Structure 1
């Protein structure tokens, strides 16, 4: 039996996450002596419609960080690792490969990183980059399943020295929280169901986000920021 949807679509999930994060960010800024402004980082493409309402609510920059699953031709659904566009690699601890499979693994890594680089090139034209050093970095996806890509993305952001890094999503399996916790200063997940087969099952509507749609989100938010900053 499939679980009941928790969100009508990504827009609904994004608004709910925005409400929650807005309160947490205000609370954090009141209780810390660190003067850090938020920057929202979305995992494309599905994370962008979730992240856009958050960035708008906070009135802060919206950017992307690209990480891709590393898979094998034998099982393209199984992630044996993840790699970011800048080459940060995370391998699954369950991975067991003999010497004869090393070349296959390297080929899979190369293919995944090329996909990440291509996607970054397609989308980074949609926004100006902000300096993450000393910022409150909010890393957002539309859901977390294995956690491989968001963990690799978190490590890439952490390398740029934000004051704090929060990993955020509308939904994730409860069992993954402990594994992700060391990668961030705070985990913000709205729902943590015990039965978890895929992220899409928790949305009533979960269409693919196209590159064109993703660019529109980024460009519209950049225009919005420019408008409010010029007032």
Structure 2
């Protein structure tokens, strides 16, 4: 979401920082998100996790640890030299789209630990049925398109390219200089 977040920060004239959150997948099905974790360890589990077949806790713990390590490694490669404190400010979380809300919920939890005055969520697209949840976890949720039929974020882009770590670091550096 950094290309979009960078544009938002530039228009608003505010600093740009990053919260890295990764989905936690079911050990038997890497496509099924059962939760999300941030680099600093804020975890959100899906309610669907409770309905999954019995799985030894250590498998979920291993999936959690793997996702967090991935997030930590990415943050280490991205982190700007000086991080900004959102304490007492309106913190705006921007993503390129929200599919399940798991990674956004983990990012909100991590951000709230830094005591902002408010947390706003912004994205170009999210499923309509996810909007009540987004409003529940934030003071404001701004989503441009909320289709009933939602298969994936990428379907709402002509070209949905993954942003590499080097490119992401450039976005952070350019906005904060």
Normalising by the residue count of structure 2, what TM-score does the alignment of the two structures yield? 0.95
Q: Does residue 1 of structure 2 align to residue 52 of structure 1?
A: no
When you count helix as a share of all residues, which structure comes out higher? 1
User: Structure 2: how far apart are the matches of 1:131 and 1:82?
Assistant: 23
Pairing 1:13-162 to 2, within 5 Å after superposition: 47-96=1-50, 100-124=55-79, 126=80, 128-162=82-116
Q: Could you tell me how far 1:162 is from its partner in structure 2?
A: 0.7
Kept in 2: contact 1:85–1:114 (CA 8 A): yes
User: Structure 2: how far apart are the matches of 1:163 and 1:127?
Assistant: 24
SS in 2 for 1:94: helix
Kept in 1: contact 2:101–2:134 (CA 8 A): yes
Residue number in structure 2 paired with 1:169:
123
When you count strand as a share of all residues, which structure comes out higher? 2
Root mean square deviation of aligned Cα: 1.3
User: Structure 1: how far apart are the matches of 2:154 and 2:129?
Assistant: 18
Kept in 2: contact 1:62–1:127 (CA 8 A): no
1:6-47 CA deviation, whole Å, 9 max, x = no partner? xxxxxxxxxxxxxxxxxxxxxxxxxxxxxxxxxxxxxxxxx1
Q: Could you tell me how far 1:101 is from its partner in structure 2?
A: 2.1
In structure 1, runs of 5+ residues without a counterpart are 1-46, 224-231
Residues 127 and 63 of structure 1: CA distance in aligned 2, closer, same or farther (over 3 Å): farther
Normalising by the residue count of structure 1, what TM-score does the alignment of the two structures yield? 0.73
Length, aligned pairs only: 176
User: Structure 2: how far apart are the matches of 1:212 and 1:102?
Assistant: 36
Structure number with bigger Rg: 1
Q: Could you tell me how far 1:220 is from its partner in structure 2?
A: 1.1
